[in-house]
Amino acid sequence: MVRICVAGGTGQAGREVVRQALGRGHAVAVFSRNLPHSASGKNGARELYDGADYFRADVTTGEGLAEALAGADVVIDCLEARAGNALKHYAAGGALLLGEAAAAGVARAVQLSIVNCDQSTLAYYRSKADKERVYARSPLETRTVRSTQFHSLVAGIFDAGSRVGLVPVVKGARFQTISPSEVASALLEAALEQPSGDSHTLVTIGGPEVVDTGQLASTWKRTTGARGLVVHLPLPGPAGTFLREGRNLAPGQRYGDTTFGAWLANREENL
């Protein structure tokens, strides 16, 4: 049995890591800056799992990290930072986490990142690339798992647009979306694999299929029964260029077999 500390273990990917790790019989510690107050979240989704130890800790200040990391063999870092000070200090928070992990005697740290984040000028992607460099420099044995976009990202965009009668499609863009549960499996594999002798390893994973955004929109409408006019819109600037050039894809590193349509069909609200 391995003791795994999941940083950001109440987020979408982190919850899946916790669930799968417990299912495999491992001891699990979870920390987050803000913990849920109950076991059930929005739409009854499970947020706190029986058998896991939960801690309130903050990688920007270091508060609570020593307690959360005590006795851990490996850290899986699923922390996110999308705006404000959290985004500004994202890489520094990674450095603080790794330093505390080393002090606690943790042997390995694994982080979740984004495919080709070092090829984008967007602030969110830059923060991911900066944190990757922090991990690569760490004295700990580290693994970075780069993933393509989650199925839920695309579904969320379609859902938000449909509320005003439009389903937005990025003109000229394709996606290779992936299930969060399969990303969690890849993170656990990286955390539990035998030592390779490399101080830092980069792994890239992508969803099972590369699909035009218009096709994804059609699948989403058919499965959810949502209404809205599908509108193909140009996306200007670096973000549009990144997508049109296919730098959000990893066609040679397909992982798992849960397609966007299958993931949608199995969502609780669509059953």
In sequence order, which residues have a C-beta less than 8 Å from that of residue 57 and are 6 or more positions away?
31, 32, 33, 63, 64, 65, 67, 68
In a domain, residue 175? The reply is no
Predicted local confidence at residue 36, as pLDDT: 78
Q: What is the pTM of this model?
A: 0.94
DSSP state of 267: S
101 neighbors 72 (Cβ within 8 angstroms): yes
Predicted local confidence at residue 85, as pLDDT: 87
With CA atoms as reference, report the closest residue to 6 among 106, 86, 103. Answer: 106
In a domain, residue 190? The reply is yes
Could you give the CA distance from residue 121 to residue 113 in angstroms, rounded to a whole number?
15
Could you give the CA distance from residue 108 to residue 141 in angstroms, rounded to a whole number?
5
Could you give the CA distance from residue 136 to residue 198 in angstroms, rounded to a whole number?
10
Task: Say how many domains are in the chain.
Answer: 1
One-letter amino acid at 122 equals: L
Predicted local confidence at residue 38, as pLDDT: 58
Q: CATH number, domain at 44?
A: 3.40.50.720
Token pair belonging to 244? 């049109």
One-letter amino acid at 232 equals: H
One-letter amino acid at 157 equals: I
In a domain, residue 71? The reply is yes
In a domain, residue 169? The reply is no
Q: List the beta strands (DSSP E) in the chain.
A: 3-7, 27-32, 53-56, 74-77, 108-114, 141-147, 166-170, 174-175, 200-205, 211-212, 229-233
In a domain, residue 154? The reply is no
| Residue ranges, the chain, pLDDT below 50 | 43-44
Predicted local confidence at residue 154, as pLDDT: 97
In a domain, residue 39? The reply is yes
DSSP state of 69: H
Which residue is associated with the tokens 């495919």? 115
Domain span including residue 24: 3-148+180-205
DSSP state of 114: E
Token pair belonging to 245? 């050039």
